[in-house]
């Protein structure tokens, strides 16, 4: 091999070892994925200094016959374009590290699977250049062993294990609901099954329903409209939102927006219902835990359940709910409405004939609290809602036809109820 010449201005100190940017924001960037999330691949790029270095003539290529490199029984031989070929070799030998992952499969045999981390490697460019110089200086023909550095993952499996725990669980009963309503409750909650919520992410119940359900699949069932139970598409969706709402409260998740019904509901205590209505009322919550939250939902013909997983609550902490009833709100008694449209003509026809549609009902003023316990001992409470369920007037309809001459009506069985105001 011929004697080789070096550029006198070349300085080893100018070499900068490859820097990989893997800074990740808290738990949300710990390489955590569920089955709907795409993995982000690290890409190898030489730093500017390295790019300059490997395009520099480390040696005079006119006097160089070949360079031989070897790594793990794989060899590289370059007889020309040495700088470019070395750069290509460095790129090819780069393997990114893979952080350990948490895979969330709410319907799988294992809800959470912890995937092992994997080390990566990169060429030790500083050491490689030293070896090339030494080989050339001593006119050696032996292959150059390529020096590599191990890239250690930032997140290991052991770092993740124990960081996912059931924060809360809440169930409501649908056992007495008609089949259509049962379907709607379970179908609505299914939109949240498998949902992964990043730190500081805000979630809208209504928006999630729009994105993850088919509106045409919801069935007709009873809904509450202005204090009355009437048939409507999607009846039961409010029970889904209420079940989710209570699970979020018990998991100490921040609720940004929530509405109560015009009537108390049977499946939760007062002040803990969450009415939803497209364009009018929404349940909105924000992940304030600092780490991802995982939502799991399921149901059968008896109950529906929401579970919230995430970083464990403070050790020994337990959260409960309490309703404080302030007072009843007096009703205004009965209101009589003439059956002008003849809707109830098969039951009442004449003036003085009455049909009760609804009894008057007192309203209610209530306050909802979260109670905090540490190791079984009460430590504090927090008021979260002050709600009013309006009083409801009774509704009686009366026939509109005039009595025929000499006609008398049977005794009126409808008893009028006076106002409490």
Dihedral sign from CA coordinates of 189, 191, 195, 199: negative
d(CA 49, CA 17): 9
Beta bridge partners of 151: 120
The answer for residues whose C-beta is within 8 angstroms of residue 358's C-beta and 6 or more apart is 228, 392, 393, 394, 395
Quote the tokens at residue 222. 């009873």
d(CA 30, CA 23): 10
pLDDT at 179 over 50: yes
Quote the tokens at residue 353. 């004939």
Query: Which of 171-185, 233-247, 286-300 is the least confident region?
Result: 233-247
Quote the tokens at residue 127. 């050491």
The answer for residues whose C-beta is within 8 angstroms of residue 227's C-beta and 6 or more apart is 262, 263, 390, 392
Q: How many Cβ atoms sit within 10 Å of the Cβ of residue 308?
A: 23
If pLDDT is split at 50, 70 and 90, which confidence band does 224 have? low
Contacts 24+ apart (CB under 8 A), 266-269: 267/172, 267/173, 267/239, 267/242, 268/172, 268/242, 269/321, 269/323
d(CA 4, CA 419): 109
If pLDDT is split at 50, 70 and 90, which confidence band does 50 have? low
Expressed in percent and rounded to 5, the helix, strand and coil fractions of the chain are 20, 35, 45
Place of tokens 């149901």: 299
Strand order in the sheet with 394-398: 334-338, 394-398, 354-358
The DSSP output letter for 299 is: E
pLDDT, residue 46, reads 56
d(CA 213, CA 208): 8
User: Rounded mean pLDDT of 93-105?
Assistant: 93
Query: Which of 51-65, 101-115, 287-301, 336-350 is the least confident region?
Result: 51-65
pTM summary value: 0.75
If pLDDT is split at 50, 70 and 90, which confidence band does 208 have? very high
Task: Specify the higher pLDDT residue, 39 or 198.
Answer: 198
């Amino acid at each position: 091999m011929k004697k080789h010449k070096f550029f006198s201005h070349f300085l080893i100190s100018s070499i900068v070892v490859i820097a990989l940017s893997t800074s990740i924001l808290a738990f949300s960037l710990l390489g955590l994925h569920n089955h709907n999330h795409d993995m982000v691949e690290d890409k190898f790029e030489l730093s500017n200094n390295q790019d300059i270095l490997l395009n520099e003539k480390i040696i005079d290529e006119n006097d160089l016959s070949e360079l031989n490199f070897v790594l793990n029984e794989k060899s590289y031989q370059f007889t020309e374009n040495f700088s470019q070929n070395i750069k290509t070799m460095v790129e090819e030998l780069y393997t990114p590290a893979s952080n350990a992952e948490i895979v969330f499969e709410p319907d799988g045999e294992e809800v959470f699977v912890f995937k092992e981390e994997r080390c990566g490697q990169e060429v030790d460019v500083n050491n490689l250049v030293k070896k090339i110089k030494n080989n050339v200086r001593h006119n050696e023909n032996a292959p150059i062993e390529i020096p590599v550095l191990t890239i250690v993952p930032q997140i290991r499996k052991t770092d993740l294990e124990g960081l996912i725990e059931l924060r809360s669980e809440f169930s409501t009963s649908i056992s007495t609901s008609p089949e259509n309503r049962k379907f709607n409750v379970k179908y609505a909650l299914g939109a949240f099954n498998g949902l992964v919520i990043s730190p500081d992410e805000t979630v809208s119940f209504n928006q999630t329903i729009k994105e993850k359900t088919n509106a045409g699949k919801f069935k007709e069932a009873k809904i509450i409209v202005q204090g009355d139970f009437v048939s409507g598409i999607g009846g039961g969706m409010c029970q889904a939102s209420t079940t989710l709402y209570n699970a979020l409260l018990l998991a100490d998740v921040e609720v940004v927006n929530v509405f109560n019904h015009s009537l108390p509901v049977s499946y939760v205590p007062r002040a803990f219902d969450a009415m939803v209505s497209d364009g009018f009322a929404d349940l909105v919550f924000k992940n304030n835990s600092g780490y991802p939250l995982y939502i799991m939902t399921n149901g059968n013909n008896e109950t529906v359940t929401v579970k919230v997983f995430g970083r464990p609550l403070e050790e020994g902490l337990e959260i409960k709910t309490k309703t404080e009833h302030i007072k009843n709100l007096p009703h205004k008694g009965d209101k009589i409405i003439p059956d002008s449209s003849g809707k109830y003509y098969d039951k009442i026809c004449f003036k003085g004939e009455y049909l009760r549609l609804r009894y008057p009902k007192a309203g209610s003023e209530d306050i909802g609290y979260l109670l905090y316990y540490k190791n079984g001992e009460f430590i504090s409470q927090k008021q979260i809602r002050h709600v009013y369920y309006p009083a409801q007037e009774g509704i009686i309809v009366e026939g509109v036809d005039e009595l025929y001459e000499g006609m008398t009506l049977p005794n009126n069985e409808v008893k009028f109820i006076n106002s409490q105001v």
